[in-house]
Amino acid sequence: MNRKIEAIHLSSLFTNPAVKAAFERAERDNGAALAIPAPRPPRFIGGAGASLQWRRNLEALELA
Cα–Cα dist 37/6, whole Å: 7
Q: Write down the H helix ranges in the chain.
A: 17-29, 48-63
Whole-prediction pTM value? 0.38
Can you tell me the mean pLDDT for 49-59? 71
Q: What is the pLDDT of residue 16?
A: 92
Taking phi first (over 0 means left), then psi (-120 to 50 degrees means alpha), and beta for anything else, what does residue 43 get?
beta
Q: What is the pLDDT of residue 22?
A: 85
Tens of pLDDT, residues 12-34: 889 999 999 888 888 777 655 55
**Is pLDDT above 80 for 47?**
no
